[in-house]
Amino acid sequence: MDKNLSFISLGGIGTVTRNMYVYEFGNEILLIDCGLGFADETMLGVDFLLPDISYLLKIVKEGKKIVGMLITHGHEDHMGALPFILPQLPHFPIYATSFTAALANEKLAQYNLPKVIQPYPFGKEITVGNFSGKFLYVTHSIPDTAHIVIKTPVGIFYHGSDFKFDLTPYDKKQTDFQGIGAVGAEGVRCLFSECLGSEREGYTLSEDSLTTPFEDEMRNCRGKFIVTTYSSNISRINQVTAIARKLHRKVGFVGRSLMKAVGVAREQGLIALKKDDEIPIESIRQYKDSELLLFVAGSQGQENSALTRIINGEHKNVQLRGDDVIVFSADPIPGNEMSIYALVDNLSKMGIRVLYSDISYHKFHVSGHGSSQELLQLMALVKPRYLLPISGTFRQMAAYKRLGKRFGYHESDILVPMSGQQVIFTQDGVHFGHKIPIRHVYVDEVSGEEIEHFVLRDRQKISQEGVIAIIIEVDEESGSLSGKPEVVAKGFATKDSQEIELFIPQVLENVFSRRKPVTDWQYLRKQVREAVEKKLFAEFKRRPLVLPVIIEI
Amino acid sequence: MDKNLSFISLGGIGTVTRNMYVYEFGNEILLIDCGLGFADETMLGVDFLLPDISYLLKIVKEGKKIVGMLITHGHEDHMGALPFILPQLPHFPIYATSFTAALANEKLAQYNLPKVIQPYPFGKEITVGNFSGKFLYVTHSIPDTAHIVIKTPVGIFYHGSDFKFDLTPYDKKQTDFQGIGAVGAEGVRCLFSECLGSEREGYTLSEDSLTTPFEDEMRNCRGKFIVTTYSSNISRINQVTAIARKLHRKVGFVGRSLMKAVGVAREQGLIALKKDDEIPIESIRQYKDSELLLFVAGSQGQENSALTRIINGEHKNVQLRGDDVIVFSADPIPGNEMSIYALVDNLSKMGIRVLYSDISYHKFHVSGHGSSQELLQLMALVKPRYLLPISGTFRQMAAYKRLGKRFGYHESDILVPMSGQQVIFTQDGVHFGHKIPIRHVYVDEVSGEEIEHFVLRDRQKISQEGVIAIIIEVDEESGSLSGKPEVVAKGFATKDSQEIELFIPQVLENVFSRRKPVTDWQYLRKQVREAVEKKLFAEFKRRPLVLPVIIEI
């Protein structure tokens, strides 16, 4: 039997998202996390990316056994791929801390899958085959985040997923520093550490630094006070609603993802807001603007979000007025900058006070990820034999390596594998193993607010699905459709192509006949793409690549 | 006769670039600046934007006279549109400070236009019709930057274009604070102030804060020390070459734009580097890596730049080695982030030490734009009756307005016009006038390193020029072409379409048969687009929209 432990990332090294890790020992496999990746602007017509489980399927087929999966926390890039991946794998036990398990089960239920994630307490060992795991509490931007101590016949490994060391967190729940130190004292072979903040010197600011700016702004606001943040940032929601209570504002939640996350958190006893202080969004007209705090989903400028619809004047319950204040209490996820700044610019044009991360004199968001000092602090507590950065781009991995060297590690003890490269821990050393191919695997959701359908596909098949380019002329000032759109369909039967070229102008008419013309081209492009995709799926059950080109005239 | 002064921006309000301003009094027109705009990722197939001079052409046709143009400084977004705009206008005198005039004339010569920009000293009045202008020295990221004092029959206006207040600039040339104060004491009607840094609290760091980090890094570097910055950042070049001299490194310049800017600066006596310490790039092999400092053009990740070619292993004189250090001494211009980070990630993957703006523990670049304190300081020196932010996005204009209110201005005295809106200064007040349409005007350069041709066009004509979509399958690991590309041509005669679909695969073969396969998809897309555009222009003298879609398999 192979006496070594092999470690590999199925989401690829050199990326922040798509977290999924395989620990193999002998015949057994332990999995950590199962997260989505987010598409950027260059991935035309794609919604999400998945970890590539080809290698996993192969070794399972060859007779290896998945003994279990542990999930570190409830963010999409750590557990959002479960509904897509689990149906492809044999059954095995899955454990997570309480809130993480509740969110993940909720996610599975959305896709009509059984709620198989088992909640498990912090600090208690879970035995799965030859492995054992233990969740240690760390602070992050979502409750119940864990680092995982993994004991194996080849030694102890510390899976240090996303974290910060907030010494004054809003919910007073402190990182289990003593627990981490105790594991370190037992002797750790390798610390797998997140490295997103490795480029930033110093400590990441504590959440408590946000209380004063929020309170000052809310006190001075004479209209609605509107906050957008990640739906799962429960402590931020508690922090801001406490201020609202003090200043006699009622709280409303706008947007499905947000209401869902708050619902799950409430069941877990994590929401401090009293039921009396919350109002349903339909009844906000019964209150003066100055009596309202609204949390709105869509901090990343997503085209379907409540926030984008509110700003574009398309939301049925929430209309903006001049006295309103909007706070972006979240950093842009790389790739979303242009969508977010389009919203901020539109609000500025309307004369609405908008607060966001580039305004440096007040802070309305702090990162959930530790900076250099915290990454060094984790090294100092764990004192592992080897370091290996995970969940970061190549430049962040390189910055982490420099940190390790500053700490005193020898270059050869800081492992920076290539994407798909196995890292093999033997009884007395470590070396790189095979490099398996890690492909990009894409998921598209044909979606409105409801998930109606999803397509799991290889990018290879896109050209088989067809390509449709649509060239639209739009009046630059008014945002209205000008002239007849040009449609180019490729990869369809002639009859179908003709049909498509006929019905697309009608689909566009519908998009453009909405109440209010839009001059945000990104938003418009996405609306067009989505309307066309829906129609094509309805007609042909196909998902071609739709490329809308907007020409301003 | 109209006794009012009218002010309007032809580049549009709400944008940082495309600076061009019209001051009208009676029958006379004074112009300030004539700058390019930069295209972002959403403007498929476009290189640059121009100010829209339709309004100017109209009033000239109606009998108004352009009495002169003054240029504030030599950055592309303030003078880069001259070769495109001047040929459309009648003759009038154009003045700029010495280095600005030299750069602008060099630019005109590139397009075979006469060198009509007249150098004019700081502090001396220029009379042009009923206007007079005076250049005041301010610090910025290019030598000889000016603010302009404009005297008119309706009072004094202060045109406060791009600046920072660097109290310890590397070249020791200080802002003319006393001159600014003296103008303020005369009574200024309106301060037109740049506002790019209005979101940042405090002062922008001085250039002298960069000396120590550069010296430390260069001393520790055992390979080539490579710096990329804006070509026109002459003081940065002097600052770093002085360190190189101390540490016995010879200096080479790589990239046409950079060599041109340095050449112009040297003629102006602005380059401190001794001729003996400079070496031509062809002879760098005669030196050890540790004896070299190279300045390389391409800090924005431009696809044709020397830097991109070096990193992709395609430069004939410069090859990277493991000991080299690359410093990005420039901030990303919004829209360029993805191209720049692709380069940084590639370098990190190769194990090359790369220093860039997200690394917070060392600074290798400071902004050329003032932050809040400097914008407030300018208000305090000028003490104008009205404020009007220019050269910023809507959110930066909104932030500037908040600064003005903090300073003590009444809301109604801070003018924030819409795009295309005239601002009319009467003898005793101000009001908004007509809103003229400001369209987007695009320029495309069919270019290699040489400017071979440019096309000035209305976006309206794109669909008339045709659209070509190319779907290419590329091996994700190796970057090599896989399978036959699909080509969709629209808007061409059937015969031409067939011809295009035949020759494009050959063009692609050429792109992919280069020495080294590339896995940077952005770079690849741009290379494909460019190669296809060149071929199409050669064959048909047409510039269709070329949309390469890269599919990783």
Which DSSP category does B417 fall into?
Answer: P
* pLDDT, mean of residues B307-326: 92
Residue A178 has pLDDT above 70, yes or no: yes
Query: Long-range contacts made by residues A403-409, C-beta under 8 angstroms, separation at least 24?
Result: A403/A198, A403/A372, A403/A375, A403/A376, A403/A379, A404/A379, A406/A376, A407/A376, A407/A379, A407/A380, A409/A379
* pLDDT, mean of residues A90-108: 97
Q: A271 or B474: which carries more pLDDT confidence?
A: A271
- Report the distance separating Cα A524 and Cα A473, nearest Å: 12
Nearest chain A residue to B200, by CA: A360
How far does the CA of residue A256 sit from the closest CA of chain B (Å)?
A: 28
Contact with chain B for residue A449, Cβ under 8 A: no
- Report the distance separating Cα B20 and Cα B71, nearest Å: 9
How far does the CA of residue A397 sit from the closest CA of chain B (Å)?
A: 8
How far does the CA of residue B553 sit from the closest CA of chain A (Å)?
A: 6
To test the contact with chain B by mutation, choose from A336, A348, A497 the residue with the greatest count of B C-beta atoms within 10 A, namely A348
Asked if B463 lies within 8 A of A440 by C-beta distance, the reply is no
Nearest chain A residue to B353, by CA: A398
Asked if B348 lies within 8 A of A394 by C-beta distance, the reply is yes
A 191-220 residues with CB below 8 A of B?
A: 199-202
Contact with chain A for residue B278, Cβ under 8 A: no
How far does the CA of residue B50 sit from the closest CA of chain A (Å)?
A: 15
Rounded-to-10 torsion of CA B342, B344, B349, B355:
-170
- Report the distance separating Cα B258 and Cα B161, nearest Å: 24
Beta bridge partners of B128: B131
The amino acid at residue B45 is G
Asked if B14 lies within 8 A of A439 by C-beta distance, the reply is no
CA-based angle A456:A461:A462, to the nearest 5?
95
DSSP alpha helices (H): ranges in B350-460? 372-382, 394-407
Confidence of residue A522 (pLDDT cuts 50, 70, 90): low
- Report the distance separating Cα B389 and Cα B368, nearest Å: 17
Residue A196 has pLDDT above 90, yes or no: yes
Q: Which of A41-45, A261-265, B327-331, B497-501 has the lowest mean pLDDT?
A: A41-45
How far does the CA of residue B126 sit from the closest CA of chain A (Å)?
A: 37
Q: How far apart are the first and last CA of chain B?
A: 70
Q: A546 or A421: which carries more pLDDT confidence?
A: A421
Tokens 């379409």, residue? B497
pLDDT on residue A552 = 63
Residue A416 near residue A389, CB atoms below 8 Å: yes
pLDDT on residue A503 = 86
Q: B43 or B397: which carries more pLDDT confidence?
A: B397
* Percentage with pLDDT > 70 across chain A: 91
* pLDDT, mean of residues B314-325: 93
- Report the distance separating Cα A179 and Cα A134, nearest Å: 10
pLDDT on residue A278 = 96
Contact with chain B for residue A436, Cβ under 8 A: no
Nearest to B345 among A394, A460, A488 (CB): A394
Confidence of residue B458 (pLDDT cuts 50, 70, 90): very low
Residues in chain A closer than 8 A to B200 (CB atoms): 358, 360-361
pLDDT on residue A517 = 60
Q: B474 or A308: which carries more pLDDT confidence?
A: A308
pLDDT digits (tens, 9 = 90+) for B109-131: 988 899 999 999 999 999 999 99
Helix, strand, or coil (residue A320): coil
* Percentage with pLDDT > 90 across chain B: 62
Contact with chain A for residue B459, Cβ under 8 A: yes
* pLDDT, mean of residues A354-376: 87
| Six-digit token string for B465 | 């020029």
Tell me what percent of chain B is helix, strand and coil, each rounded to the nearest 5. Answer: 35, 25, 40
Contact with chain B for residue A40, Cβ under 8 A: yes
Q: A78 or B301: which carries more pLDDT confidence?
A: A78
Residue B249 has pLDDT above 70, yes or no: yes
Asked if A338 lies within 8 A of B341 by C-beta distance, the reply is no
- Report the distance separating Cα B49 and Cα B18, nearest Å: 7
pLDDT on residue B504 = 87
Helix, strand, or coil (residue A382): helix
How far does the CA of residue B360 sit from the closest CA of chain A (Å)?
A: 5
Beta bridge partners of B225: B293, B325
Helix, strand, or coil (residue B228): strand
A209 vs A205, A236, A245, A378, CA distance in Å?
7, 12, 19, 23
* Percentage with pLDDT > 90 across chain A: 62
Dihedral over Cα of A459, A463, A465, A469: its sign? positive
pLDDT on residue B449 = 32
Beta bridge partners of A133: A126, A150
Nearest to B552 among A40, A397, A459 (CB): A459
Please state the three-class secondary structure of A462-530 as a single string.
HHHHCEEEEEEEECCCCCCECCCCEEEEECCCHHHHHHHHHHHHHHHHHHHCCCCCCCCHHHHHHHHHH
Confidence of residue A382 (pLDDT cuts 50, 70, 90): very high
Confidence of residue B545 (pLDDT cuts 50, 70, 90): confident
pLDDT digits (tens, 9 = 90+) for B261-291: 999 999 999 999 998 999 999 999 999 999 9
pLDDT on residue B457 = 42
Asked if B553 lies within 8 A of A344 by C-beta distance, the reply is no
Confidence of residue A416 (pLDDT cuts 50, 70, 90): very high
Confidence of residue A360 (pLDDT cuts 50, 70, 90): low
pLDDT on residue A454 = 46
User: Number of Cβ pairs closer than 8 Å across A and B?
Assistant: 161
Residue A194 has pLDDT above 80, yes or no: yes
Residue A207 has pLDDT above 70, yes or no: yes
Confidence of residue B150 (pLDDT cuts 50, 70, 90): very high
pLDDT digits (tens, 9 = 90+) for B77-95: 999 999 989 999 999 999 9
Residues in chain A closer than 8 A to B491 (CB atoms): 486
Confidence of residue B361 (pLDDT cuts 50, 70, 90): low
pLDDT on residue B456 = 46
To test the contact with chain A by mutation, choose from B362, B458, B463 the residue with the greatest count of A C-beta atoms within 10 A, namely B463
| Six-digit token string for B142 | 């290019």
Helix, strand, or coil (residue A66): strand
pLDDT on residue B526 = 74
pLDDT digits (tens, 9 = 90+) for B303-312: 778 999 899 8
* pLDDT, mean of residues A497-507: 85
Enumerate residues 6+ apart whose C-beta is below 8 A from B70.
Answer: B30, B31, B32, B33, B94, B95, B96, B126, B133, B135, B148
Tokens 């990329």, residue? B228
To test the contact with chain A by mutation, choose from B38, B344, B394, B441 the residue with the greatest count of A C-beta atoms within 10 A, namely B394
Which DSSP category does B448 fall into?
Answer: S
Residue among A391, A384, A300 at smallest CA distance from A72 = A391
Residues in chain A closer than 8 A to B551 (CB atoms): 459-460, 462-463
pLDDT digits (tens, 9 = 90+) for A131-173: 999 999 999 999 999 999 999 999 999 999 999 999 999 998 9
pLDDT on residue A502 = 84
Contact with chain A for residue B547, Cβ under 8 A: yes
Asked if A201 lies within 8 A of B361 by C-beta distance, the reply is yes
* pLDDT, mean of residues A184-207: 94
Mean predicted lDDT score pLDDT of chain A: 88
Model ipTM value? 0.71
* pLDDT, mean of residues A284-292: 96
B 356-415 residues with CB below 8 A of A?
A: 356, 358-361, 372, 393-395, 397-399
pLDDT on residue A130 = 95
Q: B503 or B479: which carries more pLDDT confidence?
A: B503
Q: Which of A174-178, A218-222, A278-282, B535-539 has the lowest mean pLDDT?
A: B535-539
pLDDT digits (tens, 9 = 90+) for A427-465: 999 999 999 988 777 776 544 333 333 444 444 455 567
Q: B439 or A203: which carries more pLDDT confidence?
A: A203
**Whole-prediction pTM:** 0.79
Asked if A486 lies within 8 A of B473 by C-beta distance, the reply is no
| b/e code B35-72 from CB counts within 10 Å (16+ = b) | bbbbbeeebbbbbbbbbbbebbeebbeeebebbbbbbb
Q: Where are the beta strands (DSSP E) in A35-165?
A: 37-38, 48-50, 65-71, 94-96, 117-119, 126-128, 131-137, 146-152, 155-160
Contact with chain A for residue B15, Cβ under 8 A: no
Asked if B398 lies within 8 A of A348 by C-beta distance, the reply is yes
* pLDDT, mean of residues B383-402: 95
Contact with chain A for residue B452, Cβ under 8 A: no
